[in-house]
Structure 1
Amino acid sequence: MKFSENWLRQHVPTTATRDELAATLTAIGLEVEEVTALGESLDGVVVGHIVSAEKHPEADRLQVCQVDTGNGTVQIVCGAPNARPGLKAPLAMVGANLPGGIAIKAAKLRGVESSGMLCSAKELGVDPDASGLLELPVDAPVGAPLAQYLGLPDASIEIKLTPNRADCFSVRGIAYDVAAALASEVHDFDATPVVAQSDATMVVELQAGARVPRFVGRVIDNVDATVATPAWMAERLRRSGVRPISFLVDVTQYVMLELGQPMHAFDKATLEGAVVVRPARAGEELKLLDGRTVALDEEFLVVADSRGGNGARAVALGGIMGGFDTRVTDATRSVFLEAAHWVPSAIIGRSRKLGMHTDAGHRFERGVDPELPRIAVEYATKLILDIAGGVTGPIIEAVLPEHLQPSQPITLRRARLARVLGLQVADAEVERILRALGLSVENLADGWRVIPPSRRFDLAIEEDLIEEIARIHGYDSIPTTLPSGAARLVAPSETRVEDASARRQMASRDYLEAVNYAFVEADLLARWGKADGAVPLANPLSAELGVMRTALLPGLVAALARNTVRQQPRVRLFELGNVFSANGSDAPRETPRIAAAICGEATAEQWATTARPAGFHDLRGDLDSLAALAGANLEYRPSQPSWAHPGRSADVYRDGVQLGWIGQLHPRLQRSLDIDVDVVAFELDLEPLFRRAVAKAGALSKYPSVRRDLAFVVAESVTTWGALSAAVRRAAGTALRDLVLFDKYQGKGVEPGFKSLAMGLILQDESRTLTDRDVDATVASVTDALQREHGAVIRG
């Protein structure tokens, strides 16, 4: 928000200097980003009137001008392209000192005397425009001091507002905060209704329900649209960062900046029948004031007239921008002023969807006082009648009162205020601050009953009022109190592996943790085949971050790819985070997951081992070590999802429940992601993986263990060790302490289509030493189970 310092001081009188004012604004939360001094040191600069302008005899680009100073005529040599007879422009007299250290002296230019200088806005320090002389209105008084005429010196102050302070998107809104901070009062605002001079009116229909609960308008006939914008108004607009266009347009901008209510002026002659506020129709098009034609849908709101049927033609994009075909021009003689209350939820994201930004949309997205439309129309009417004349009709107001909720009272307790702030604020000071902010205050036995004004919809609970007291009383007045040091210790859960433990385990396995956005590009999920159930964002930061991620791997593998193209041949990344999926009309379902992705060599470059690429079993070993933290035995079942390499991927199970997937990415997917190395990855649900039983201590067996090594020949079609090991464990029973697969052989002595698997069975009992008979019985049971379930036979 940018505004004129003098304009602010007109609303709130204060003796504070400019620096003190800027420091106060920042201290109360309205952070000042820039203060630009305007029109300093303009003594000796007056309004000049060019009486004649003739070509310089010795220079094609110079003119010799005779300029009326109001106290005689002086000769000025000027090179500005817009210097012409009849023009009124700033004239720096001899002896004047302009901003930037320019001293004006009598001089000769190419042999012609010049007694002063006609000035551009940049030379005066009031605007960066240096394209020509600063043109003043035709009614500017010749000879009047320029500073007095333009309300200088002044400053353009730009502040940074937080989204909750929408009330400060106006000079008057800022004035309340300044008044409270500097112990002043805001001047009363003259909102006297303008008496109707005719019965000119229009029918207004509200068809958007709670999204537009109030619409105010007024017809003004016989307006002189060609009248120039007064200098005082034009200068305030410029100092607020708004370029003056034409008077009728400038009035609506001026009222918006002063009061905070966006408005629009229609050329009434271009409107037909009733004015209808309604949702846009799918595929409906509208040409806007900036010349763009936009395609709308039902999410947008429009103001329509009845050309072609009731509410048939859209003439303005609600809360954002007016339409091109109904704009005011110099030919306009009848104006329909409009000011409406568009609720934030009806406007948020609509401008961005069209790739545009407007001052009106910016304000309505954050919230505008629902009581302002009528005041704004009355004020704009008065300005138009005073400057451009006209005959005004009665106020037209359409309202849906059931959708306009009055401000609710808030109880502020004296004890609560002292407890939260840590200091006692005098009752008189509390009441002064609240009343200066425009709040209604009623004394209670233990505090105050406060009713916020309609513009302060950010005040809803007691803590909001406490924040206002702290903000205005001064954060530096709140004492610094060190914490007592008392802390409540919370024991970690024994039934779940902590995330920190998982992170340490992955780091010990040579992984780096990645943190990716929870938003991804919809096309990226589609390439992975994971777009089903994706939750689109209503207001995305960019097109590349348009949906919530349904899986961790797309983002994690993208991070891996960025590393590989930056000359990192060996990358090992993991991530813990939530994924999201649509859940009907309810909030999206969030699922915590862990994922990892690796590429390059299995081990870091060294001399002791032969380099080999990392593969499925390397990553499986890392996953098994992670599962061991929870005492989990994972089962791997072959699978072939669309993103996985055929024959090199598996679904991961624990106790019969699928946790996720592990395997190598499909070459087709890797090509689409511009990855030219093999990538192996896994992704699993976190909660079932890290769930564990409470540990129980047990005595170690004092009896020796026995190991028996067995080699079985099984068909090549038996692809999973998991199925074989499960059969062994079932057959061996409680005597089996461990099972180790230590060899796989195919070749001489083994029939084609078969393979030999050698395993070690470690047996032990807690109550006695196992005998040969015990061990032989267990081996026979295992042999029988493997032969029966998998056709395995002891290798001869």
Structure 2
Amino acid sequence: MKFSENWLRQHVPTTASRDELVATLTAIGLEVEDVTALGESLDGVVVAHIVSTEKHPEADRLQVCQVDTGNGLVQIVCGAPNARAGLKAPLAQVGAALPGGIEIKAAKLRGVESFGMLCSAKELGVDPDASGLLELPADAPVGAALAQFLALPDASIEIKLTPNRADCFGVRGIAFDVAAASGSEVAAFAAAPVAAAIDASVSVELNAAGDAPRYCGRVIEGVDAAAPTPVWMAERLRRSGIRPLSLLVDVTQYVMIELGQPMHAFDRDTLTGPIGVRRARKGEAVTLLDGREAALDEQFLAITDADRVVALAGVMGGLNTRVTETTRNVFLEAAHFAPEAIIGRGRKLGLHTDAAHRFERGVDPELPRVAIEYATQLILDAAGGKPGPVVEAALPEHLPQPQPIVLRRNRLARVLGLAVADAEVERILRALGLAVSSTAEGWSVTPPSRRFDIAIEEDLVEEVARIHGYDRIPTTLPAGAARLVAPSEGRVDAATVRRQLAARDYLEAINYAFVDAHLLQQWGVTDGAVALANPLSTELGVMRTSLLPGLVAALSRNAARQQTRVRLFELGNVFHAVAGDAPLHTLRVAGVACGTAAAEQWSLDGRPVGFHDIKGDLDSLAALAGARLDYRPSQPGWAHPGRSADVWRIAGDGSEVRLGWIGQLHPRLQQALGLDVDVVALELDLDPLLARAITRAGSQSKYPSVRRDLAFVVAETVAWGELAASVRGAAGASLRDLVLFDRYQGKGVETGFKSLAMGLILQEESRTLTDRDVDAAVTAVMAALQRDHGAVIRG
């Protein structure tokens, strides 16, 4: 929420300085994110009138202007493209000092004297626009101080609102909090009813029950829609982050910023009536103000004209019924829509509007008539016209009714840890606009209709705490002893995993648990995807079913920014739908890498990272838990054929569990994702990977080990993992380790076959192995390899 400091001070008179005001706002929970000072030093800047212009004799882009300052004519050399005779613009006279330290002196520009400077909004420090001179209204008084004419100095203040403070989406709502915190009072607000001058009206029908329990409208005929927006109104809008467009639109925006009530203006001549509010029907559509065609369904709330959809309730008006500068007759609307009827509707269409932002959080149901009366008076003052009667349709049974809440004196003191004087409690609550009456135990408090967030006693405690001052609440350390719990030795903790991967040259990434549904479709991992009912945006519409899509997207962003070697990992949950139950959360670890296997240095070549590099990283993780992993060829849709494997953990008793996947991404997927580098990746369930047996002390065998090396020729299609399983099964308990130390294809080996050389390390705990023992083990291994895989001893 952004607003003008002077505008706020109009509603709550206070002598606090700007710094004190900003500190007060933050202290009471309205965190100030930004303060932009406007027009701080404009002495010597006046409203001037360009009487005539002529081309500079020595420069094509300069003009020599004769300018009326109210005290005679002065000559100004100006290069602004919009400098023209008849224009009124700010003039910094000789001797003036502008924001940024610019001092104005008489000068010669290409041989022509200039006595001052015609200014843009940026040069004056009132707006970022530097495209030309700041154009002032035709009725601006020549010679008047610009600061006085534009109500300067001022500041644009932007605050960060929590979702529960919808009442502060209007300057007047903020004023109540400031008044309570500063011991002041909110100024009375004048929005007197405007008497009807004509009988013209449009009937209203409510057919959405509690979704739209109140709708107010009024016809104003004979409006001069081309009339300029008053300077004071345009400046307040500009300082609130809204660019003035046209009088009728600006009035509705102005009322919304000041009171917090969104409004809309229809061109009355485009309506046939009656106006209705109902649920949209599937297949209906409306062209919105921004020109897009919105396809509707039963989830949307529609404003209709004779059952024709003309606006999307609480979000945006329609293009075909909008007001323009040729509009003569206006239909103003202000309504109350239930938050649940508006939440997420704009985002479903890729829209985020000021109106939807407010209605989603809740708008005071008593404001529509007040807003209509206020907007009517503003339009009549600026554009003339004749108003009709206010037409109001309401469903009282669906309008929220504030209920009294009991605030106990003892409860307040217990929660805050200090006793706040009764008089101070009553002052705070009344200053916030709450109705307060004393009871024996404390107070009975009824919140105003604008305070949706106050519903229980704890809400009142919070109000007293933040206005009284959090800094005045004593800090007390809790008493008692905390029970220390030793970490389990049966599991490697996640912090150790992070340290290990960081030591392997990976950087940790943290991605959203929400992803784009299209991204999951590209990967082919949509099974069990959980769609969000109210996503932050269309790009974050489903819960992730895998860590890899988000992690590879992060790698892609880095690679697109000239990072040739990227290694990322992530620990996080993935989510899968479970019929009739909450989504299943699974903790996983994933890693991705591209570029060279090692960082650039003089002693190593630039070998690209491959499957076995990332496999080594995974083996280092498995070693933390003493896990034995088995890699079995697999080919999910996102994987490169022949370069991917499922990862299994083999327990000591021979049982096994699938952990996940490791390999290289498919070239087609890499192309679809816009990656021009090969990416290797892994993703595994973390819990079964990190489980480990309790470490137990044991003695090393004092008897020597024996090594036997064997070379086999076997079909190229036989995986090493299958051979290793056969060797371990045949060698028996004496086998301590098995090493593959050579792989050969070429001369001497038939096409379609490969030669594998392995080392068998044999050892016993209680005795020295004899040649007979070793020969028996080797013979068993050779027989098993021949029987299971057709392997032949290489000659």
Bin of the TM-score, shorter chain as denominator length: 0.7 to 0.9
Report how far residue 172 of structure 1 moved. 1.2
Change over 3 Å in CA distance of 1:144–1:189 after alignment to 2: farther
3-state DSSP of counterpart to 1:493 = coil
Q: Is the contact between residue 25 and residue 32 of structure 1 (CA under 8 Å) also seen in structure 2?
A: no
Report how far residue 183 of structure 1 moved. 0.8
Is 2:725 aligned against 1:723? Answer: no
**Which residue is 1:342 aligned to?**
337
Q: Which one-letter code corresponds to 2:34 in the other structure?
A: E
**Which residue is 1:395 aligned to?**
391
Is 2:548 aligned against 1:553? Answer: yes
Counterpart of 2:736 (choices 715, 734, 738) is: 738
* 1-structure distance, mates of 2:597, 2:118: 78
Report how far residue 180 of structure 1 moved. 0.3
Report how far residue 382 of structure 1 moved. 5.0
What are the equivalent positions in structure 2 for 1:760-771 lying under 5 Å apart? 760=760, 762-764=762-764
Q: Which one-letter code corresponds to 1:135 in the other structure?
A: P
Count of aligned residue pairs for this structure pair: 764
Is 2:453 aligned against 1:458? Answer: yes
Change over 3 Å in CA distance of 1:643–1:37 after alignment to 2: closer
TM-score (norm 2): 0.77
Q: Is the contact between residue 750 and residue 756 of structure 1 (CA under 8 Å) also seen in structure 2?
A: no
Q: Deviations over 1:398-456 (max 9, x none)?
A: 43734x44345555555554455454433322222122112233545555454432322
**Which residue is 1:110 aligned to?**
none
Change over 3 Å in CA distance of 1:180–1:721 after alignment to 2: same
* 1-structure distance, mates of 2:276, 2:225: 26
Is 2:28 aligned against 1:33? Answer: no
Q: Deviations over 1:240-285 (max 9, x none)?
A: 5556665544443332232110112223332113212245566755
- Between structure 1 and structure 2, the one with the greater Rg is 1
Q: Which one-letter code corresponds to 2:267 in the other structure?
A: D
Q: Which one-letter code corresponds to 1:183 in the other structure?
A: G
Change over 3 Å in CA distance of 1:144–1:184 after alignment to 2: farther
Report how far residue 392 of structure 1 moved. 2.6
Q: Is the contact between residue 218 and residue 388 of structure 2 (CA under 8 Å) also seen in structure 1?
A: yes
Q: Which one-letter code corresponds to 1:177 in the other structure?
A: D
Is 2:615 aligned against 1:620? Answer: yes
Q: Deviations over 1:291-327 (max 9, x none)?
A: x343333365432212xxxx12x32232233334323
* 2-structure distance, mates of 1:575, 1:90: 58
Report how far residue 177 of structure 1 moved. 1.0
Is 2:602 aligned against 1:595? Answer: no
Q: Is the contact between residue 579 and residue 591 of structure 1 (CA under 8 Å) also seen in structure 2?
A: yes
Q: Which 10-residue stretch deviates more, 674-683 or 430-439?
A: 674-683
Q: Is the contact between residue 524 and residue 637 of structure 2 (CA under 8 Å) also seen in structure 1?
A: yes
* 2-structure distance, mates of 1:288, 1:152: 36
* 1-structure distance, mates of 2:689, 2:754: 35
* 1-structure distance, mates of 2:419, 2:150: 43
Is 2:303 aligned against 1:303? Answer: yes
Report how far residue 680 of structure 1 moved. 3.6
Change over 3 Å in CA distance of 1:337–1:784 after alignment to 2: same
RMSD of aligned C-alpha atoms?
5.4
* 2-structure distance, mates of 1:512, 1:232: 53
Q: Which one-letter code corresponds to 1:305 in the other structure?
A: D
**Which residue is 2:187 aligned to?**
187
**Which residue is 1:681 aligned to?**
681
Report how far residue 190 of structure 1 moved. 4.7
* 1-structure distance, mates of 2:504, 2:794: 37
Report how far residue 495 of structure 1 moved. 3.3
Q: Deviations over 1:52-83 (max 9, x none)?
A: 98999x99976798x9x9xxxx8657989777
Change over 3 Å in CA distance of 1:214–1:771 after alignment to 2: farther
What are the equivalent positions in structure 2 for 1:7-18 lying under 5 Å apart? 7-18=7-18
Q: Which one-letter code corresponds to 1:491 in the other structure?
A: A
Q: Which one-letter code corresponds to 1:627 in the other structure?
A: A
* 2-structure distance, mates of 1:758, 1:119: 84
* 2-structure distance, mates of 1:761, 1:181: 80
Change over 3 Å in CA distance of 1:740–1:317 after alignment to 2: same
Report how far residue 176 of structure 1 moved. 0.1
Q: Which 10-residue stretch deviates more, 575-584 or 193-202?
A: 193-202
**Which residue is 1:161 aligned to?**
160
Q: Which one-letter code corresponds to 1:648 in the other structure?
A: R
Q: Which one-letter code corresponds to 2:489 in the other structure?
A: E
Report how far residue 699 of structure 1 moved. 4.9
* 1-structure distance, mates of 2:507, 2:500: 11
What are the equivalent positions in structure 2 for 1:254-403 lying under 5 Å apart? 254-280=254-280, 286-289=286-289, 292-298=291-297, 300-306=300-306, 311-312=307-308, 314-328=309-323, 332=327, 334-344=329-339, 346-347=341-342, 358-381=353-376, 383=378, 388=384, 390-399=386-395, 401-402=397-398
3-state DSSP of counterpart to 2:641 = strand
Report how far residue 359 of structure 1 moved. 3.6
Change over 3 Å in CA distance of 1:218–1:707 after alignment to 2: same
Is 2:639 aligned against 1:637? Answer: no
Change over 3 Å in CA distance of 1:705–1:469 after alignment to 2: farther
Q: Deviations over 1:3-46 (max 9, x none)?
A: 45554344333344555444433443442733545698889989
* 2-structure distance, mates of 1:246, 1:424: 53
Report how far residue 390 of structure 1 moved. 2.6
3-state DSSP of counterpart to 1:692 = coil
Q: Is the contact between residue 90 and residue 146 of structure 1 (CA under 8 Å) also seen in structure 2?
A: no
Q: Which one-letter code corresponds to 1:427 in the other structure?
A: D
Q: Which one-letter code corresponds to 2:294 in the other structure?
A: A
3-state DSSP of counterpart to 2:215 = strand
What are the equivalent positions in structure 2 for 1:103-114 lying under 5 Å apart? none
Report how far residue 661 of structure 1 moved. 1.4
Q: Deviations over 1:215-259 (max 9, x none)?
A: 222344566667776666566556555566655444433322321
Q: Which one-letter code corresponds to 2:683 in the other structure?
A: E
Report how far residue 501 of structure 1 moved. 1.8
* 1-structure distance, mates of 2:676, 2:523: 17
Q: Is the contact between residue 28 and residue 472 of structure 1 (CA under 8 Å) also seen in structure 2?
A: yes
3-state DSSP of counterpart to 2:659 = strand
**Which residue is 1:113 aligned to?**
none
**Which residue is 1:108 aligned to?**
none
3-state DSSP of counterpart to 1:364 = helix
Counterpart of 1:135 (choices 134, 137, 161) is: 137
Q: Is the contact between residue 214 and residue 392 of structure 2 (CA under 8 Å) also seen in structure 1?
A: no
* 2-structure distance, mates of 1:95, 1:629: 77
* 1-structure distance, mates of 2:642, 2:555: 23
Change over 3 Å in CA distance of 1:494–1:246 after alignment to 2: same
Q: Is the contact between residue 288 and residue 316 of structure 1 (CA under 8 Å) also seen in structure 2?
A: yes
* 1-structure distance, mates of 2:608, 2:120: 72
* 2-structure distance, mates of 1:621, 1:122: 59
Is 2:662 aligned against 1:662? Answer: yes
3-state DSSP of counterpart to 1:425 = coil
Q: Deviations over 1:343-401 (max 9, x none)?
A: 44554565566666544344334432233223322433455567735353253214373
Q: Is the contact between residue 220 and residue 393 of structure 1 (CA under 8 Å) also seen in structure 2?
A: no
Change over 3 Å in CA distance of 1:718–1:337 after alignment to 2: closer
**Which residue is 1:217 aligned to?**
217
Q: Which one-letter code corresponds to 2:574 in the other structure?
A: V
3-state DSSP of counterpart to 1:634 = strand
Q: Which one-letter code corresponds to 2:397 in the other structure?
A: P
Q: Is the contact between residue 218 and residue 387 of structure 2 (CA under 8 Å) also seen in structure 1?
A: no
Q: Which one-letter code corresponds to 2:571 in the other structure?
A: L
Q: Is the contact between residue 376 and residue 387 of structure 2 (CA under 8 Å) also seen in structure 1?
A: no
3-state DSSP of counterpart to 1:255 = helix
Report how far residue 637 of structure 1 moved. 1.7
Q: Deviations over 1:81-127 (max 9, x none)?
A: 7776xx9x8999x999998899999xxxxxxxxxx999999999988
Change over 3 Å in CA distance of 1:212–1:703 after alignment to 2: same
